Amino acid sequence: MTFLLIFNAFTLITPIIYLKNFGRIGYNRQRKAIPEVKRIPGSTPYHGSVGVIDYVEGYTHDGENVVIPRSAVMDLRNYPVRTTQGKIWVSDHAHVIRGHENVMDNMFLTTALRAIDYNPICVGGTRSQLNVDDLADINISYPSYEEQVKIGKLFRDIDEMIEAHRKRIEYLRTLRKGLIQNLFI
């Protein structure tokens, strides 16, 4: 049933009508590293290249943002692009981008950036790096803003379902472990 709903959602989408490089439809925002010894513990997620690495006081960005690692990504075919909500602090090991208002939906942008094979884009040897100029030159095909919002919501809903199932699996693993431990005491 879920597959049918997803399929029906995609059959209603208008054809892709735009192709532009990211530098013309979004912008890269400033970020600032905090050395570990200078971090003041707080409630704001501190994003590095691999995701949230700490919680600090203060923030560098607020609202809806797309965080994309600059370096230390192991799988360039499944680049860990993520959308964030609210206050965050982003180190210099990640890019913070946002689509231009009413031109590019951030969740659609996240989905589009996840679909890219970064092997030909990233530079470096064993530790590849996504430079700001290379990020700005990425071409993205996209429909009207209204369609982007629909597509973005669809993928946000799917991501939320995946996360809910991941949490359920983790809960069941913890429950199983506790039951086994109590069984043999």
Q: What are 78-101's pLDDT values in tens digits?
A: 888 999 999 999 988 888 988 888
Residue 11 scores a pLDDT above 70: no
Q: In the structure, what pLDDT confidence band is assigned to residue 64 with cuts at 50, 70 and 90?
A: very high
Asked whether the whole model's pTM tops 0.85, one would answer no
* Contacts of 101 by beta carbon, 8 Å cutoff, 6+ apart: none
Map tokens 């990504």 to a residue: 73
What are the sequence ranges of the domains in the chain? 1-183
Lowest mean pLDDT segment, chosen from 15-24, 40-49, 120-129, 133-142: 15-24
pLDDT in tens, 38-58: 889 999 999 988 889 999 999
Whether 15 and 143 have beta carbons less than 8 Å apart is answered as yes
Q: Select from 110, 104, 97 the least CA-distant residue to 27.
A: 97
SS3 80: coil
Across 100-128, average pLDDT = 85
Q: What is the pLDDT of residue 55?
A: 95
Q: What is the pLDDT of residue 76?
A: 81
Q: What is the pLDDT of residue 118?
A: 87
Taking the mean position of all CA atoms in its chain, how far away is CA 70? 12
Q: In b/e form, how buried is each residue of 100-139, taking b as 16+ CB within 10 angstroms?
A: eeeebbbbbbbbbbeebebeebbeeeeebbbeeeebbebe
103 DSSP 8-state letter: T
* Cα Dmax for the chain: 65
Whether 140 and 109 have beta carbons less than 8 Å apart is answered as yes
Q: What is the CATH number of domain 1-183?
A: 3.90.220.20
